[in-house]
Amino acid sequence: MNLLNMAKKSVDIVSSHWDLNHTHPAACQGQRLFEKLLQLTSQNIEVKLVSDVTADSKVLEALKLKGAEVTYMNMTAYNKGRLQSSFWIVDKQHVYIGSAGLDWRSLGQMKELGVIFYNCSCLVLDLQRIFALYSSLKFKSRVPQTWSKRLYGVYDNEKKLQLQLNETKSQAFVSNSPKLFCPKNRSFDIDAIYSVIDDAKQYVYIAVTDYLPISSTSSKRTYWPDLDGKIREALVLRSVKVRLLISFWKETDPLTFNFISSLKAICTEIANCSLKVKFFDLERENACATKEQKNQTFPKLNRNKYMVTDGAAYIGNFDWVGNDFTQNAGTGLVINQADVRDNRSIIKQLKDVFERDWYSPYAKSIQPTKQPNCSSLSKLKSPSNQPAIANATGREPLSV
């Protein structure tokens, strides 16, 4: 909300979900956000919104009637996928990027993570080009064979933006998916993740909702080695410590546990090969609720999608699932920092968030049981659900 309060000229938002109105008590933040967007349209502030064409949203229709420009992306036609990007740009100066969408559950029920940059026009310029790419597809049923030069990336893995973040010398660039949406000088998300893992000297901490190295079609499922193989390489060939924090929920694919067992097996009898995996279960409290109680509640879920190492971080929109990267539209942010000991550094903040969750009572090393011991749950207190920006920015906003 602070970002929108700063708006004086323009607000550009990309989101996969647009459901801010609901009678649930936890929906109050979403309702306030919707009211603020309506207010901005009445103040002659340019509001541009991008959504997937499959979104049937009364929120978007109401904002469109008030003057907002709405672009619907037909990802099914472009790449048999869907839009998963989530970022905001305010006055071409400030930006938010992270896992939270414009959905009341993201703001009030889910555990999200993102990052805000204040007064960072250089990085915003690059992210603005991704927004422009999405907007250029309005009314189009297919992607052009060549992209306009005005959509080319400004920074990439080879040419990173040099900047100060919270008085810490840093480098940053924005990545994109699928590869079909990567014009010249735009890093593909997978390549961005590779660069972060390859630069790690000591550890790689990964937090995702789902981990499933599989690419699926309507007729078959095939192994997708891109990220799974990179983890194995870091473990075996470079002795980098890897920690995986995966959400456990009703949609967790049983094959996840097979792939985790396979990852663990490669460290057997190999010196300095360290892999640990935990499952984060926010629904443990509701597991023993009555049917009536469950009908009155909505599932809670850890939807973080980030990676942090001893020298870099990647914050994105995807889980580590094959189809997400190959078919869906999403955006990532890579930050490199040399001095990660300073409490104000983004790397230190993200590492602290990961370790807080890793050592919480909701994270378990073994495969969670679907029949929990209900008597042990009364002692647990659910972690507070805060807006996505709170977890990422901590006490200090990012600035340049």
- Domain residues for the domain of 60 are 1-141
Q: What is the mean pLDDT of residues 64-93?
A: 94
Pick the last residue of a domain from 91, 111, 141: 141
* Per-residue pLDDT at 381: 46
pLDDT > 50? residue 378:
no
Say whether both 130 and 196 belong to one domain.
no
**CATH number of the structural domain spanning residue 103:** 3.30.870.10
Say whether both 132 and 63 belong to one domain.
yes
Report the number of distinct structural domains present in the chain: 2
Q: What is the mean pLDDT of residues 308-323?
A: 96
State the chain's mean pLDDT as an integer.
88
Say whether both 168 and 207 belong to one domain.
yes
pLDDT > 80? residue 373:
no
Say whether both 136 and 182 belong to one domain.
no
* Per-residue pLDDT at 392: 35
pLDDT > 70? residue 379:
no
Q: Residue 265 burial (CB < 10 Å; 0-12/13-18/19+)?
A: exposed
Residue 168 lies in a domain: yes
pLDDT > 60? residue 163:
yes
Say whether both 156 and 129 belong to one domain.
no
pLDDT > 90? residue 322:
yes
Instruction: Kindly report, residue by residue over 340-353, the tens digit of the pLDDT.
Output: 777 888 999 999 99
Say whether both 182 and 254 belong to one domain.
yes
| Rounded distance between C-alpha atoms, residue 93 and residue 398, angstroms | 12
Residue 108 lies in a domain: yes
Instruction: Kindly report, residue by residue over 44-77, the tens digit of the pLDDT.
Output: 899 999 999 888 889 999 999 999 999 999 999 9
pLDDT > 80? residue 143:
yes
Residue 393 lies in a domain: no
Which of 214-223, 232-241, 366-375 comes out lowest in average pLDDT? 366-375
The phi and psi torsions of 32 (rounded to 5 degrees) equal -65, -35
Closest residue by Cα to residue 174 from 70, 106, 113, 87? 87
pLDDT > 90? residue 144:
yes
- How distant is the alpha carbon of residue 305 from its chain centre? 4
Q: What is the mean pLDDT of residues 301-317?
A: 95
pTM for this one?
Answer: 0.89
Say whether both 119 and 160 belong to one domain.
no
Say whether both 208 and 250 belong to one domain.
yes
* Per-residue pLDDT at 312: 96
Confidence band, pLDDT 50/70/90 cuts, at residue 287: low
Residue 376 lies in a domain: no
Closest residue by Cα to residue 193 from 82, 308, 276? 308
Say whether both 127 and 159 belong to one domain.
no
Length, in residues, of the chain: 400
Contacts 24+ apart (CB under 8 A), 31-37: 31/104, 32/1, 33/1, 33/4, 33/102, 33/107, 34/59, 34/62, 36/1, 36/4, 36/5, 37/4, 37/11, 37/63, 37/68
Residue 83 lies in a domain: yes
Output the DSSP codes for 297-320: -----B---EEEESSEEEE-S--E
Say whether both 122 and 162 belong to one domain.
no
Whether residue 312 contacts residue 199, with contact meaning beta carbons closer than 8 Å, is answered with yes
* Per-residue pLDDT at 298: 61
Return the H-helix or E-strand segment holding 337: strand 330-337
Q: What is the mean pLDDT of residues 225-241?
A: 97
% of the chain residues with pLDDT over 70 = 88
Pick the last residue of a domain from 141, 162, 182: 141
Q: What is the mean pLDDT of residues 25-50?
A: 93
- Please enumerate in sequence order all residues whose Cβ is within 8 A of that of 393, keeping only pairs 6 or more positions apart, or say none: 115, 116, 349
pLDDT > 70? residue 376:
no
Q: Tokens for 139?
A: 């009314």
Residue 69 lies in a domain: yes
pLDDT > 90? residue 265:
yes
Residue 160 lies in a domain: yes
Confidence band, pLDDT 50/70/90 cuts, at residue 293: very low
Residue 374 lies in a domain: no
Q: What is the mean pLDDT of residues 197-210?
A: 97
| Rounded distance between C-alpha atoms, residue 217 and residue 116, angstroms | 36
Say whether both 206 and 68 belong to one domain.
no
Whether residue 3 contacts residue 116, with contact meaning beta carbons closer than 8 Å, is answered with yes
pLDDT > 60? residue 263:
yes
* Per-residue pLDDT at 385: 39
Say whether both 291 and 194 belong to one domain.
yes
Place of tokens 């990422």: 392
* Per-residue pLDDT at 219: 86
